[in-house]
């Protein structure tokens, strides 16, 4: 296809501003659409385009931020909300929640209709904040909207992360008090929220454990190897009534391949360090170590079955029953 200098300029400028390219004239819209039809560009939202390799390099949360930055140029009065706001605030969350859509606030009930690409949340009295150039719901309001629209175990990473980033329980409760909605899901989230979870995978694991009705673990407990004096901080710890101690470890793949997480030891060095860590924990009196992956937590039963096999008991009352 013939090179189009103006389209190339639109794409280059969009990438430099970390957003999508879009057409402001009929000629530009037609040129962009033709290149998408020829698979030179990818249509990533109505009248939004990106180079396929550039778009493939972005994580889903960054794709949402690209869409939001583009929409802000077209609709500067829009306030981003829900999981879109969570991505803009940098809260931990599971990427599948984006579903290639963007969420904004609606100021009147009559304007609350959603489309495939734009979801609307009614928030007549919402006072936005700005993250960079983007108007977005406050940290507390973002937690409330995500908590009321998202399954418990997927909302838990959002609130854990928000509390680590200085959202306050008082602000969350204050927003709930002004809403004409049943905020029971928020009260459950607040009951179980714990900013000690270090990332979204650990929070998802804990949410899965809670939804599965198993005993809730202690988080980020420190255990000292009596032989070497090395201190290990474990993701989850259960001290069982039988006297047994069980450790749960979330196995994020990044710790094996990310040099900043494995002290640049490489995969072989990271695996060796994990074996030394396990040996030290057993010397310290840990009876069982249960390792699980993000996929285990997402699928639910693999994680729950591993914990039941290790002797983790049912909680006194499963989440949601009391």
User: For 22-40, how does the pLDDT look when each residue is reduced to its tens digit (9 = 90+)?
Assistant: 999 999 999 999 999 999 9
- pLDDT by residue (tens digit) across 172-189? 999 999 988 899 999 999
pLDDT value at residue 208: 98
d(CA 272, CA 174): 49
Percent of the chain with pLDDT over 90: 79
Owner of token pair 């040996």: 279
| pLDDT mean over 72-90 | 96
d(CA 120, CA 122): 7
Judged against a pLDDT cut of 90, whether residue 266 lies above it is answered with no
pLDDT value at residue 240: 95
Backbone dihedral region for residue 27 (phi beyond 0: left; psi -120 to 50: alpha; all else: beta): alpha
Judged against a pLDDT cut of 70, whether residue 253 lies above it is answered with no
The sign of the dihedral angle between the CA atoms of 85, 77, 99, 15 is negative
pLDDT value at residue 256: 39
| pLDDT mean over 256-273 | 56
pLDDT value at residue 262: 44
| pLDDT mean over 268-274 | 71
Alpha helices in 76-168, H assignment, sequence order: 82-89, 139-149, 152-164
Other residues' Cβ atoms within 10 Å of the Cβ of residue 98: 20
pLDDT value at residue 182: 93
What is the DSSP secondary structure assignment for residue 243, as one 8-state letter? S
Judged against a pLDDT cut of 90, whether residue 114 lies above it is answered with no
* Greater model confidence, 321 or 2: 2
Confidence of residue 257 (pLDDT cuts 50, 70, 90): very low
* Greater model confidence, 273 or 96: 96
Per the CB < 8 A criterion, the answer to whether 280 and 228 are in contact is: yes
Mean pLDDT of the chain: 90
Percent of the chain with pLDDT over 70: 89
pLDDT value at residue 66: 97
Task: For residue 254, report the phi and psi dihedrals to the nearest 5 degrees.
Answer: -60, -30
pLDDT value at residue 115: 75
pLDDT value at residue 87: 97
pLDDT value at residue 322: 37
């Amino acid at each position: 296809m013939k090179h189009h200098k103006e389209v190339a300029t639109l794409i280059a400028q969009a990438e430099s501003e970390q957003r999508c390219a879009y057409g402001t004239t009929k000629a530009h819209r037609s040129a962009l659409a033709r290149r998408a039809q020829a698979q030179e560009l990818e249509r990533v939202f109505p009248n939004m385009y990106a180079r396929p390799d550039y778009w493939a390099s972005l994580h889903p949360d960054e794709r949402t931020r690209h869409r939001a930055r583009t929409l802000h140029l077209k609709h500067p009065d829009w306030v981003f909300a829900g999981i879109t706001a969570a991505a803009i605030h940098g809260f931990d969350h599971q990427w599948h929640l984006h579903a290639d859509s963007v969420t904004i606030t609606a100021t009147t009930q009559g304007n609350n209709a959603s489309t495939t690409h734009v979801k609307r949340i009614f928030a007549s009295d919402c006072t936005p904040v700005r993250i960079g150039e983007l108007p977005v719901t406050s940290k507390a309001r973002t937690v409330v909207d995500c908590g009321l629209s998202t399954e418990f175990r997927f909302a838990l990473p959002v609130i854990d992360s928000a509390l680590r980033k200085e959202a306050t329980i008082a602000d969350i409760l204050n927003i709930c008090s002004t809403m004409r909605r049943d905020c029971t899901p928020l009260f459950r989230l607040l009951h179980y929220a714990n900013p000690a979870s270090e990332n979204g995978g650990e929070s998802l694991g804990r949410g899965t454990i809670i939804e599965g009705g198993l005993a809730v673990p202690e988080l980020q407990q420190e255990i000292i190897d009596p032989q070497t004096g090395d201190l290990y901080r474990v993701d989850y710890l259960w001290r069982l009534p039988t006297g047994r101690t069980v450790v749960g470890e979330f196995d994020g793949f990044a710790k094996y391949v990310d040099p900043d997480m494995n002290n640049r030891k490489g995969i072989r060095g990271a695996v060796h360090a994990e074996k030394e860590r396990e040996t030290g924990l057993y010397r310290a009196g840990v009876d069982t170590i249960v390792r699980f992956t993000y996929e285990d937590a997402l699928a639910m039963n693999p994680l729950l079955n591993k914990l039941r096999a290790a002797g983790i008991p049912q909680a006194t009352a499963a989440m949601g029953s009391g």
